Structure 1
Amino acid sequence: MIPVKLILSAFGSYAGREEIDFEKAGAGIFLVSGDTGAGKTTVFDAITYALYDQTSGGKRDGNMMRSQYAGLDTPTFVDFTFRYREQLYRIVRSPEYERPSRRKGKDGKPGTTVEKAKVSLYLPDGSEFMGKKGEVNRKIVEIIGLDAGQFTQTVMLAQGDFLKLLYARSDERKEIFSRIFQTDIFAQIQRKLREKARALYGQIQDAKKSEEQEVSHIFYPDEGEYKERIREAVLPQDRQEILKEILKEGTGREKGILKEAKKIQEALEQLNEDLAKAEQLNENFRRYAEAEKEVRDLQAQEDRMEEVKKQLERCGQAEKVQGVYRLFEESSRREKELEESIRQLEMIREEKNREGKEETERKSKTEQKLEEGRQTYEKFRQQAAALTEELEKRKDDKVRLTLSRTREQEAQEKIRQIRVILERFPDLRKLEKKKQKTWNDLEEGKGIYEEAMKEYFLKNERFLKEQAGILAGGLEEGTPCPVCGSLHHPSPAVLTGEPISQEDVREARKKRDLAECKKDEYQQKFLEAGQAYSAAVKVVTEEGKKVTPDLPEEAALMEAFLEKETVRKEEILEERRKEREEAEEAVKRREELEEKQKGLVKCQEDVYMQMEEYRLKIQETDHCLRSLEQERSRLEGEKEARIKELERAAKEKEALRCKFRETLEEEGFSDEEAYIESLLDEESKTRLQKEYDDYGQRCIEAKSRQDTWQRALEGKTEQDTTEMKERKRSMEDKKEELEKEQKIWYSRNENNRIVREHLKKICEKLEKLQEDYTCLGTLDQTANGNLSGAVKIDFESYVQRQYFRQIIGFANQRLNIMTGGAFLLKCRALEDLGMRGNAGLDLDVYSMETGKVRDVRTLSGGESFMAALSMALGMSDAISRSAGGIQMKTMFVDEGFGSLDDYSREQAIGTLRNLAGEDRMIGIISHVTELKESIDKQLIVTKTKKGSHVRWSL
């Protein structure tokens, strides 16, 4: 990466637009010089900020880099163009910051506005990379190959961080080298080996747990001997042999139980057969006894059954008489019915005559009412026609009222909206006053801070000069200077005559820090107050534009405009009210007429309905009179027919009475009472007949069973089965116990067989897993640096050691020249790393004079600078020579040369010149006067009261 052009605008100490064309300087080294605080480091900060959104030191982000000298119209941004692999890239980045607004408040002072952070990346083909801020940042890291931390350790050696790479721990160098030399593939191999080894180990442990779990399921014939042997067995094969013995003993016990149970079953079957025969014989004797008893019981019922037979015969004779008697009763009932019917017909005829007279009178009255209704209906119809004509003339009254109400509501809503907005202005004025107060506090705080800063710089400079004069007072020609080590002292410092203590300097610095904190606090309050005021103005403006598009943009004019608008809207509202009242009066009159019209129509409808009712009543009366006449004629004819029928019924009744008396005598009944006593109801008759028939059938069946059992049991006796049943119960109990015991042993043996099969499979699996783990575990421990008895260095670190040794080799080429061969850097040998973790990239110093090795942290300030510079140069060489490596053809060094003596400084500058050659660029920031004399190409930074400026001196 080589910088081409850098443009800074309102960034850091640069108030306006500053452009640095690096192509003017070309390849080689150049010096960045200028006064303290002028903005030399800001140049490098801008490059790091453009690339990574942070400064080279990492202590400030872009949001803090807005120049305090910048004008209102000057934007803050960094525009950086660089070349990488012969391709041009350009990135433009601006932070989020708050600046004074161009608009002024009521008090005439400016407000504030917030500029959002932006970033744009332009690719070599001129197109802009499309992505959000995070995506652009990742794309830049992808292009260059370094993140911000790695960039500042290898390319942008920032002030205060120069020695980080030199003093970095082994694991910190590992992270840097992993990205630069793309050794993550070896870390992935480590992780894969570790994951596979852990997975295999986990499977082995799972298999062992499964084995123990299966062993816990074993059932033992003898808890003592077998269980102890299983517990003491070391190999899975031994456990299987013991389990084989357990299965053999368990199977033998199960077979013995089955054999004994079979013998008991055979004896039990013979006993069941004998017991069944005895019980069947006893059952036959019981049935014979039951048959004898049943015959005796039936014989005891013979007298009663004879009486039932006679009762059924008398009932049959009475039923013959009953037929004639029922005909006589029916004839008597018919005669009475005809007499009652004739009487009812006479009563109905008289009622119909009365109803005819009433209907005739009702018809006359209804005809009179109908005529009166016709006259009333005609009067209402004429009145309704007149009202309809008047309502037609007022048909638009309701439309006019609706329109006037709508217009009045719109005017009221406008006034309400304006008043709501006006209610916000007291709070708005409070926010504006608060913003102005914080602005005044900020200006006052800035003044106090600047005074404290000036006082601190003056006292610090006086203190340094006084200390230099004190040190110079003890210098002697030929004696080394305690500061720079020089033997010659051509221009020693002198005492100023104005003594000042270090405590005074500390006090001044403390006041400056307090003033700076107070200023930052005021600035934060001003930003918050400005944001609150701007947000409130925005809300009022947006709401006001919805009500009246002519609202002024200035907040100071809005309130007066809205108050005038309220007065104008109220005048319009008054006009709308008058329109609405006139319309309401017209509509009210129309509604009164409509209501009156409805009343007339209702009256018409009522009169018409009454007329219709009268017409219907007249029609109904006519129909009723005709029906009454027809009914009277029908009743007269029916009465004559009933009288004739009654005469026939009386003759028939007398004949049946004679027939009934004759039948009683024929059937042997002395009188009507004897006949009635012999009658039975159907249910009783059926019940007695069934009882008689069932009795005869039961007698036949009982006698037959008695004879059958008597022949079957001839010559046989009953048996006693008590002893046989007792023996059966005993044998069944014994059999049940044996079956339970057999099931237990079968279950145990089956369980042990399953356990044996499972243990066999687990054993085979465990052997394979342990065989695989033996190989893979060794690879894992070796690759991850965990092998017992070996150096704790992992695979990636081992590969990186080769790059590290290469970097050190390149670094020592430069360091040998700079130090005159005084010492070299050395990668710590493997045998010296010990057994601690994260080792392999440790750095030592080898003294050429003593031949001893010491820690790199024992170097002096000048030695450390040269060693760190050599390391940075060595890394650059290693990177550029790596196949497909990162091409960093630029280096920036911020300070550090002040710690070198003249000889070392000349050697370092010479080394850098040789390194730069014709295709590299190296920039140096330094206050050392001798560097200004030895480096021709200089970027000069000039500090003014209105901001800094840069220019090339070539």
Structure 2
Amino acid sequence: MRLHRLEIAAFGPYARREVVDFDALGADGLFLLHGDTGAGKTTLLDAVAFALYGTVPGARGQVKRLHCDLAEPDTDTEVALELTVQGHRIRIVRGPEYRRPKRRGDGYTTQQARASLTWLSCPPHGHAAEGVTRIDEVGRTVQRLLGMSAEQFFQVVLLPQGEFARFLRAETTEREQLLERLFGTQRFADVERWFRDLRTTRGRELERRRAAAREWVARLAQVAQTEAPEEPGLDWATEIRQHATAALAAARGEERAASAARRDAEATLQERRAAADRVRRVRAAHRRLVELWEQADQRASWKSEQAAARRAHPVAELAAELDRVTERLEHARRDETVAERACLALGFEQPQAEVAVLRARAAALREQAGQLAGLVEEAGRQTGDRDRLARFEERAAYAAEQAAAISQKLEGFPERMRQLNAEYELARQAEAGFEAIRAREQEAAAALADADRLPELERVVQHALDAERVAVDDHQSARATLLDLRERRLAGMAAELAAGLADGAPCPVCGSAEHPAPAEASADSVGDAEERAAAERERQAEQRRDLAVDARYRAENELALVRERLSGQTREQLAKNLTALGAELRSLTQRATSKARLEESIRNAQAEADELTADRTRMHSEESEARAKQRALAERIDERAQRLDAARGDFDDVGKRREHLVLLGEAAEELADARSARAAAEELLEERHGAVLDAARRAGFATVEDALSAARPQSRLAELERWLTEAERAEAAAKGVLEEPELRGVSPEEEVDVEPAQQAVEDARSRAESAVAAVRACSQRAHDLDTLAEHFRCALSELEPAEREYAELEALTDVVNGRGQNARRMSLRSYVLAARLEEVAVAATARLRSMSQGRFSFVHSDAAGSRGTRGGLGLDVLDDYSGTVRPAKTLSGGESFLASLALALGLADVVAAQTGGALLDTLFVDEGFGTLDSETLDVVMDVLDELRAGGRVVGLVSHVEELRQRIPMRLRVRKSRTGSTVRLEGGMPVAC
């Protein structure tokens, strides 16, 4: 992979479009990105990462805030990168998602993320020539071409020294997390998890089998009514089954003996009961015959009463019919009297006339009433027509009144519409100017807030200036102290070397084995520890100075922006302006909010005018129609009135006359019916008197009263019949019992005792039932024990191989996960990562020995950690000066940088080889060179020169001044209030 050209616009601190020509910048194979702290050096590397993967490394990628706040609103945030991968030159353009001001109106809108990939040379096989425009497809294409993920790219191409310093000193867990991200060992973690999940599943299954076996044991002990042993087996189950079989045999023998005794007792009881029953039946028959003999007189009385009642029954029926006819005659006479009175009340002439005369008179009256029926109907219509005539008059008057009222309302509508239109025009103008006034008010409020913040910002700037002066003074003092110590150490270096001389050992300076006058240390001599401590204090003072300068710049920049926005206005002016704008805004708001209401009022007024005009026309039409109908109806009413007056006679109207005729005819008819019914009832009564007297004489009674006194109701007759029948049947039954063969010779005085036999049967039956229950219980227990024992045997046969299999799986799972018999406490994933780390240590050692002049080497350790923690990812340093292996945490600041750089380069080589990606022709190293002295820096630069062998381009990101003298091709990043810019030094300007 080789980078050619990078274009960024409104990205990070770069407000305008900036261009970096990597072909010109990397022509010498080594270039430098330098500039002030916070100028945007690392942002250029972020831009490369964003163009390729759509994200940036480290914590900056989590914020996802890439848009430049200083850019113009119309400038889109964009990154474009041209590069060559696997012989294919491509151009990638990406834009992040961010919020930008709306192009129309106020507020913000979200600019969606976008991406495109264009082939500048022939595309690979299977890729379209027009390129890719979908974000996900661009990401997949880039990852497929580079052969590595974003995490791997950030560690292989953009070497972050801070992270590798942490990696160098990290514990096993932290180092494991980084290596997992780089080497993609998730599949081995999946294998570990698969073993754990399988062990959990098999453990649950084994526990289920154990629980099943325990359940069968508990059920066996419960059924056998015994305690289970601590380790029950098949022998125990066989033993309790044998006990159950013996108990079943004994219970069956007892059942047979109890059954035989019960049968003998029941036979004896049956004989005693039969004898007692025969005595009882004889006694009952004798008692019944005695009772019937005592009732002989009463039965004779019942027969006499029954015979008299049967002879009097026809006479009673005729007497009842005579009573009914008499009652009917009384009703007929009363009805005749009522009908005569009704005829007299209606003015009927000759109410005492015969029935034929009354019926003829009633027919004549009905005929006269029928002739008047048509005129009654016309009289009803006459009343309805008069009511309609009045309604027509009311309708016509109401329509005329409503038409006049509507005309009066319509007279004021033109003036009302002119007023509403004028008010609507004012509201529309207020609404049009509302947004502008609101924007001015928001600007005024923001300016007033800036004015309130101004004193605090000035204090912050002053405090930052004071802090910067203190930090500069501290740094200069620390640097002076460091230089003084180094000078003093160089002056006493001879004494320091002499301190290490030994008799017979060669001098490291002259090589002589004799040391006649070794130099002695002076009182102000300085050692290596003091020099290192002073260098560390100088480095910390420099960091504090850089932080103070950055804080002062941010404070001054914020203060300048606020002053620029205020444009010299005082707080009082801003507050007065804000108050006036607020009052104007409230007035416009009140007026603008009435626009919709006025629109609705205008529409309603116009609709109301149209509706009133239509209503007035309708009222005129209704008035004309009502007047015409009124005149026609009045003529019909006058003509009908003449006919009705002639027909009503002396009555108020025709209906009342007809009603009188109908009532009079009905009264005459009712009188005729009543008189005819009275005559018929008299004839029938006389006839029924003779029939009753004849029936009494034929039945043998002297008078009718004698016959009625002998009569009885049907219920009494039925009761007498039932009593007589029951007595006859009882007598026959008692005699029949005494005549039975088995009862002959049985004396009613004989006594039979049944109680002893009954008690003997109950005792024998209780014994038999207990024996049967015992047999049933023993049989069921034996059957249950057989079934449970078989289940227990099956459970044991399944449990034994499952326990063996689980023991093997548990041991293997512990080994795979770094426990159990795994002496090194290394999981499978840690083992794979340890192998990768060992490769990294070998590759990094070559670089580290070169940069440390053969002193340091990386040593990989697979030993377990302290207190039994996981091992396999240990990384120490072998110091050839002392011959001991040291922890990486004991390295100094410069040594840590060398080790971190070597580790980063070694890891880059291993990851590139493992991923099978394309050749990485471009490499960036970000910061860390400030901890090196001049000599060590020379060695590091030699190693970096080796990296560019074969056409490789190495880019350094640093603000160390000495690197500017060593590297001819440089990209200068400058920081200003309007945004950062880049310029190529030592070549053509890339961007201004």
TM-score range, shorter chain: 0.7 to 0.9
For 1:637-786, list aligned pairs within 5 A. 657=690, 668-708=700-740, 711-712=743-744, 714=746, 718-786=751-819
**Letter matched to residue 847 of structure 1:** D
Q: Which of residues 880, 886, 891 in structure 2 aligns to 1:859?
A: 891
Whether contact under 8 Å (1:268, 1:728) holds in the other structure is yes
**Letter matched to residue 880 of structure 2:** M
Does the alignment pair 1:267 with 2:268?
Answer: no
How far apart are residue 278 of structure 1 and its match?
Answer: 1.5
Mind listing any 5+ residue stretches in structure 2 that lack a counterpart?
Answer: 119-127, 350-361, 498-508, 510-537, 566-581, 988-992
Does the alignment pair 1:39 with 2:40?
Answer: yes
**Letter matched to residue 439 of structure 1:** D
Aligned to 1:218, what secondary structure does the other structure show? helix
How far apart are residue 245 of structure 1 and its match?
Answer: 0.5
Mind listing any 5+ residue stretches in structure 1 that lack a counterpart?
Answer: 104-110, 488-499, 528-553
How far apart are residue 860 of structure 1 and its match?
Answer: 2.8
Cα gap change, 1:85 to 1:930, in 2 (>3 Å)? same
Whether contact under 8 Å (1:845, 1:854) holds in the other structure is yes
Question: Corresponding residue for 2:94?
Answer: 92
**Letter matched to residue 307 of structure 1:** S
Whether contact under 8 Å (1:32, 1:924) holds in the other structure is yes
For 1:110-149, list aligned pairs within 5 A. 114=108, 116=110, 118-124=112-118, 127-130=131-134
Does the alignment pair 1:876 with 2:908?
Answer: yes
Whether contact under 8 Å (2:430, 2:591) holds in the other structure is no
Aligned to 1:719, what secondary structure does the other structure show? coil
How far apart are residue 948 of structure 1 and its match?
Answer: 3.5
Question: Corresponding residue for 1:107?
Answer: none
Cα gap change, 1:204 to 1:314, in 2 (>3 Å)? closer
Whether contact under 8 Å (2:403, 2:616) holds in the other structure is no
Question: Corresponding residue for 1:465?
Answer: 476
How far apart are residue 593 of structure 1 and its match?
Answer: 11
Question: Corresponding residue for 1:166?
Answer: 168
Give the % identical residues. Answer: 21
For 1:318-333, list aligned pairs within 5 A. 318-319=312-313
For 1:93-492, list aligned pairs within 5 A. 93-94=95-96, 96=98, 114=108, 116=110, 118-124=112-118, 127-130=131-134, 151-158=153-160, 160-219=162-221, 227=227, 230-231=229-230, 233=231, 239-319=233-313, 350=344, 353-354=347-348, 433-441=444-452, 453=464, 456-473=467-484, 476=487, 479=490
Question: Corresponding residue for 1:937?
Answer: 969
**Letter matched to residue 823 of structure 1:** F
How far apart are residue 154 of structure 1 and its match?
Answer: 3.5
Cα gap change, 1:313 to 1:388, in 2 (>3 Å)? closer
Q: Answer with 142-151 or 7-16: which moved more.
A: 142-151
Whether contact under 8 Å (2:86, 2:145) holds in the other structure is no
For 1:585-600, list aligned pairs within 5 A. none
How far apart are residue 679 of structure 1 and its match?
Answer: 2.8
Looking at structure 2, the residues matched to 270 and 876 of structure 1 have their Cα atoms a distance apart, in angstroms, of: 108
How far apart are residue 215 of structure 1 and its match?
Answer: 2.2
How far apart are residue 582 of structure 1 and its match?
Answer: 12
Looking at structure 2, the residues matched to 746 and 346 of structure 1 have their Cα atoms a distance apart, in angstroms, of: 105
Cα gap change, 1:581 to 1:749, in 2 (>3 Å)? same
Question: Corresponding residue for 1:907?
Answer: 939
Looking at structure 2, the residues matched to 793 and 571 of structure 1 have their Cα atoms a distance apart, in angstroms, of: 81
Question: Corresponding residue for 2:843?
Answer: 810
How far apart are residue 282 of structure 1 and its match?
Answer: 0.9
Looking at structure 2, the residues matched to 522 and 212 of structure 1 have their Cα atoms a distance apart, in angstroms, of: 84
Q: Answer with 769-778 or 363-372: which moved more.
A: 363-372
Q: Answer with 388-397 or 713-722: which moved more.
A: 388-397
Looking at structure 2, the residues matched to 150 and 426 of structure 1 have their Cα atoms a distance apart, in angstroms, of: 54
**Letter matched to residue 24 of structure 1:** A
How far apart are residue 933 of structure 1 and its match?
Answer: 3.9
How far apart are residue 94 of structure 1 and its match?
Answer: 3.9
Aligned to 1:840, what secondary structure does the other structure show? coil
Looking at structure 1, the residues matched to 59 and 625 of structure 2 have their Cα atoms a distance apart, in angstroms, of: 93
How far apart are residue 664 of structure 1 and its match?
Answer: 5.6
Aligned to 2:241, what secondary structure does the other structure show? helix
Question: Corresponding residue for 2:25?
Answer: 25
Looking at structure 1, the residues matched to 399 and 58 of structure 2 have their Cα atoms a distance apart, in angstroms, of: 97
Looking at structure 2, the residues matched to 509 and 13 of structure 1 have their Cα atoms a distance apart, in angstroms, of: 18
Aligned to 2:924, what secondary structure does the other structure show? strand
Looking at structure 1, the residues matched to 559 and 471 of structure 2 have their Cα atoms a distance apart, in angstroms, of: 26
How far apart are residue 722 of structure 1 and its match?
Answer: 1.6
How far apart are residue 136 of structure 1 and its match?
Answer: 8.2
**Letter matched to residue 697 of structure 1:** R
**Letter matched to residue 839 of structure 2:** Q
Whether contact under 8 Å (1:391, 1:593) holds in the other structure is no
Q: Normalized against structure 2, the TM-score is what?
A: 0.73
**Letter matched to residue 859 of structure 1:** L
Looking at structure 2, the residues matched to 440 and 623 of structure 1 have their Cα atoms a distance apart, in angstroms, of: 109
Q: Answer with 323-332 or 311-320: which moved more.
A: 323-332
Does the alignment pair 1:797 with 2:830?
Answer: yes
Looking at structure 2, the residues matched to 149 and 312 of structure 1 have their Cα atoms a distance apart, in angstroms, of: 127
Q: Which string of whole-angstrom CA distances, capped at 9 and with x for unpartnered residues, describes residues 270-309 of structure 1?
A: 2112212211221221122111111111111111222222
Cα gap change, 1:92 to 1:297, in 2 (>3 Å)? same
How far apart are residue 264 of structure 1 and its match?
Answer: 0.6
Cα gap change, 1:870 to 1:743, in 2 (>3 Å)? same
Looking at structure 1, the residues matched to 901 and 883 of structure 2 have their Cα atoms a distance apart, in angstroms, of: 23
Looking at structure 1, the residues matched to 435 and 644 of structure 2 have their Cα atoms a distance apart, in angstroms, of: 74
Whether contact under 8 Å (1:190, 1:784) holds in the other structure is yes
**Letter matched to residue 254 of structure 2:** E
How far apart are residue 182 of structure 1 and its match?
Answer: 3.3
Cα gap change, 1:735 to 1:95, in 2 (>3 Å)? same
**Letter matched to residue 203 of structure 1:** E
Looking at structure 2, the residues matched to 35 and 296 of structure 1 have their Cα atoms a distance apart, in angstroms, of: 146
How far apart are residue 268 of structure 1 and its match?
Answer: 0.6
Looking at structure 2, the residues matched to 379 and 449 of structure 1 have their Cα atoms a distance apart, in angstroms, of: 100
Looking at structure 1, the residues matched to 559 and 274 of structure 2 have their Cα atoms a distance apart, in angstroms, of: 117
Whether contact under 8 Å (1:456, 1:509) holds in the other structure is no
**Letter matched to residue 903 of structure 2:** M
Does the alignment pair 1:847 with 2:879?
Answer: yes
How far apart are residue 323 of structure 1 and its match?
Answer: 7.3
Whether contact under 8 Å (1:9, 1:78) holds in the other structure is yes
How far apart are residue 185 of structure 1 and its match?
Answer: 2.1
How far apart are residue 48 of structure 1 and its match?
Answer: 4.2
Looking at structure 2, the residues matched to 699 and 675 of structure 1 have their Cα atoms a distance apart, in angstroms, of: 34
Cα gap change, 1:644 to 1:693, in 2 (>3 Å)? same
Q: Answer with 39-48 or 639-648: which moved more.
A: 639-648
Looking at structure 2, the residues matched to 378 and 83 of structure 1 have their Cα atoms a distance apart, in angstroms, of: 105
Aligned to 2:19, what secondary structure does the other structure show? strand
How far apart are residue 923 of structure 1 and its match?
Answer: 0.7
Whether contact under 8 Å (1:445, 1:522) holds in the other structure is no
Cα gap change, 1:270 to 1:211, in 2 (>3 Å)? same
Aligned to 2:490, what secondary structure does the other structure show? coil
Question: Corresponding residue for 1:6?
Answer: 6
RMSD after superposition? 5.9
Q: Tell me the matched-pair count.
A: 890
Q: Answer with 836-845 or 5-14: which moved more.
A: 5-14
Q: Answer with 784-793 or 344-353: which moved more.
A: 344-353
Whether contact under 8 Å (2:837, 2:860) holds in the other structure is yes
Whether contact under 8 Å (2:430, 2:592) holds in the other structure is no
**Letter matched to residue 16 of structure 1:** R
Question: Corresponding residue for 1:493?
Answer: none
Looking at structure 2, the residues matched to 928 and 379 of structure 1 have their Cα atoms a distance apart, in angstroms, of: 118
Cα gap change, 1:388 to 1:574, in 2 (>3 Å)? closer
Whether contact under 8 Å (1:219, 1:748) holds in the other structure is no
Cα gap change, 1:400 to 1:705, in 2 (>3 Å)? farther
